[in-house]
Amino acid sequence: MAKVAIIGSGNIGTDLMFKVMRLSETLEMAVLVGIDPASDGLARAERLGISITSDGVEGLVAHPLFDEIEVVFDATSASAHRSNAGRLLPFGKRLVDLTPAAIGPYVVPCVNLDEHLGAVDLNMVTCGGQATIPVVAAVSSVVPVHYAEIVASISSRSAGPGTRANIDEFTETTASALQAVGGAARGKAIIVLNPAEPPMIMRDTVQVIVNRLDEETEEFVVDAIRDRIAAVAEYVPGYRLKQTVQFSDEGTELDGLLDEVHRGGEYTRVTVFLEVEGAAHYLPAYAGNLDIMTSAALRVAERMVATRVEVTA
């Protein structure tokens, strides 16, 4: 068993702690790190016999178990991760970053994890990225994607202070990863915090623009999307296709969304509707946006430990 620490005792960090304890056969929860001594996450960890510190990353570095820890999850904020990474990397710790800081390579487990197992700081993009990039990558595996746009709709109740503080980073990081990992020539990301009661389950809409498709190629695209959705569902059981994949031929009407290289042709818009229901290990089932992040991060750390490939700077 490989010992791990989690920095961040909020919703994401606490949910991840429960996943490590309940689901992982290769990771051992060692330390939960926070900055608020009164946080619910630290209190729960202490009741479960998990070692805690409320002194942030400095408390982790000074902790008696620090030298034994192989992987550190960071579930804080983009700005905090930049500081935490600078403190921890000189000690040879491997980091799984659940913030949009994007210091290390973007990683979506079912798309490109194997390419980055030697990296020291792996970035989990965003919840919207984890949900939608696999679909964009699936389409890209069949035909070139000229433009990809995603809308992630989550319950406002599942958006804590960290999520709200990172809204700008969310859109920028997700859009960038739609290109770097998903394979789109251009990407755009939108997040909607929905205050509806009762709270809504996470919903994601993916729209991509490709050259005009014939019926046979449409079938290939649908098969690729379904295969990739099944791959995500292996580690996020609540991840599913909400409706049939939709195709719409719109000629040159989409030129405004395309760059100069791709304007003036005939295109097909592919639209995919997704739903992500949380496993409710700590958070409510509607918080699929948090569940997909912690589930993906757990998968990444388990693969890192299982392979233990040579680390590259």
β-partners of residue 246 are: 271
Comparing CA positions, the residue from 127, 132, 284 lying closest to residue 201 is 284
- Give the residue numbers of the binding site: 9-12, 158-166, 289
Quote the CA–CA distance of 243 and 203 in Å, as a whole number: 11
R_g of the chain computed on alpha carbons:
20
For CA atoms 272, 103, 238, 221, the dihedral sign is positive
Angle in degrees, CA 177, 178, 182, rounded to 5: 105
Pairing of strands 187-194, 246-251: unpaired
Query: What one-character DSSP code corresponds to residue 117?
Result: T
Q: Active-site residue among 71, 127, 222, 254?
A: 127
Pick out the residues of the known binding site for NAD(+).
Answer: 9-12, 158-166, 289
Q: Is 110 known to be catalytic?
A: no
Distance separating alpha carbons of residues 10 and 7, to the nearest angstrom? 9
The CA distance from 78 to 169, in Å, is: 8
Strand extents, DSSP E, the chain: 2-7, 27-33, 51-53, 69-74, 94-97, 121-123, 147-155, 187-194, 202-211, 239-241, 246-251, 267-276
Q: Which residues are catalytic?
A: 127
